[in-house]
Amino acid sequence: MGTRAAFRGNWRSLSPLPPPGRLRTLSLATLANTVGTGLWVTGSALYLTRVVGLSPTRVGLGLTLAGLVGLTASVPLGGLADRRDPRNLRAVLQLAQAAVAVAYLLVGSFPVFLLVATVDALLISGNLAVRAALVAAVGGPEGRVHAFATLRAVANLGVALGAALAGFALVADTGWAYRLLVVGNAATYLVSAALIMRLPGYPPVRRLRRPGPGRALRDGRFLAVAGASAVLSLHWVALTLLLPLWVVTRTDAPPVLVSVMLLVNTLLTVVLAVRLSGGARDALPAAATMRRAGLVLAAGMLLWAATGFVSGALAIGLLLCATAIYTLGDLWHAGAGAALAYDLAAPDAIGAYQGVDTLLAGLARAAGPALLTWLILGGGPIGWLALAGLLAGTGLAMPPLTRWALANRAEASLANDQPISSST
């Protein structure tokens, strides 16, 4: 009995799933959804090229165009979450995404693929903003950053499970196996929607005049903070695109190390995401955490650059060490970014402000591949040094930018004779 109890205790300390309650329900919905994400992300390129018959160039072009169009949905749907129950809205969007996921089975040409991918991207972008509003409702002002970190850990676990399951289809390498991945992805949206509807409703507070989503787009100081956070999000492009190419072309490390590094990142995220989120609940502490994130991410970039000058076991050790350091910066950035996006938002327009935050991060990630490929693969270690300088400088700018944004909010509150949130 003692051994079993100890095992359960150790498992609970490692598992990202929270105790039973609303956050557990939302976490299970996220787990289901992201298992589907892992299935689709792992097998989509092979499905679209080998089964549908599209060229890799057309797949890349279609996804890029769809992604850019999809960003336009984040602010309107985030604003809609301020005027409607975010639980119901997210469930409806999950059902819509299930239908679009199935529609990939009907793709037989590039125009149809572009249409389906664009609708998919619109739903994904809008769904992220609505999810942020639902997380705020479930977690409340004191627990929303913790809830965000919990869901980040659960999402990484779900994607890893989905990717592992997709491996069976890749081994089979047949049309029916890849189609099964498509169906499996659609099914996870249905499971997620059903779990979301088990949450209580969160109807918006009735107000005589509810602001539209354009208000968030006109908040220049919020845009400055969210834009700086978006610049820091370029680190994700470095991990997922640039680092694999760097390992294969500029180091003598074995290519399989790329998978090991991504696995290290995933496992550390599952274990540490919640633990590292506790110090960044409000804007000023979050800004300090963001500064730390920028400096730590910069250190990771410099270590990755150094792998171009060493070989053998030292190169492998540096790559793994840099990945672990990078992951700490990534987690601090994610938690602090969520805290800033929530705490600097107008209390009656949480969804719209999250939509703007999603939009800016999406724009940075859309521009990132071309920019960083030119900078790093073209510039070598000097490119890594430039990226490190950008991340460090952006991190150092976060505290003064945040104080500037808080001063603006204080002035607006005084002008309207409203009390300022204690979080400031």
DSSP 362-381: HHHHHHHHHHHIIIIIHHTH
Per-residue model confidence as pLDDT tens for the chain (424 residues):
555 554 455 545 567 889 999 999 999 999 999 999 989 988 888 899 889 998 888 888 888 899 899 999 999 999 999 889 999 999 999 999 999 999 999 999 999 999 999 999 999 999 999 999 999 999 988 889 899 999 999 999 998 898 888 888 888 888 999 999 999 999 999 999 999 999 999 988 665 455 556 788 989 999 999 999 999 999 998 988 888 889 888 898 888 888 889 889 999 999 999 888 876 678 999 999 999 999 999 999 999 999 989 988 999 999 999 999 999 999 999 999 999 999 999 888 889 999 999 999 999 988 888 888 888 888 889 999 999 999 999 999 999 999 999 986 755 554 454 444 433 3
H-assigned helices in 197-311: 214-217, 220-232, 234-237, 243-250, 257-272, 283-306
- What is the distance between the alpha carbons of residues 210 and 16, in angstroms, rounded to a whole number? 36
**What's the pLDDT at 36?**
93
Number of helical (H) and strand (E) elements in the chain, helices listed first:
17, 0
Q: What is the pTM of this model?
A: 0.85
**What's the pLDDT at 417?**
46
What is residue 199's DSSP assignment? S
Buried b (16+ CB within 10 A) or exposed e, 198-230: ebeebebeeeeeeeebebbbebebbbbbbbbbb
The amino acid sitting at 317 is G
Q: Which of 192, 165, 127 is nearest to 39 (CA)?
A: 165
Q: Is 244 helix (H, G, I), strand (E, B) or coil?
A: helix
Q: Which of 282, 280, 398, 399 is nearest to 343 (CA)?
A: 282
What is residue 424's DSSP assignment? -
CA distances from 276 to 146, 218, 225, 235, 411 (A): 9, 32, 21, 18, 32
Q: How far does the chain reach from its first CA to its final CA, in angstroms?
A: 49
Q: What angle do CA 101, 48, 242 make, to 5 degrees?
A: 100
What is residue 174's DSSP assignment? S
Q: Is 259 helix (H, G, I), strand (E, B) or coil?
A: helix
**What's the pLDDT at 321?**
96
**What's the pLDDT at 410?**
59
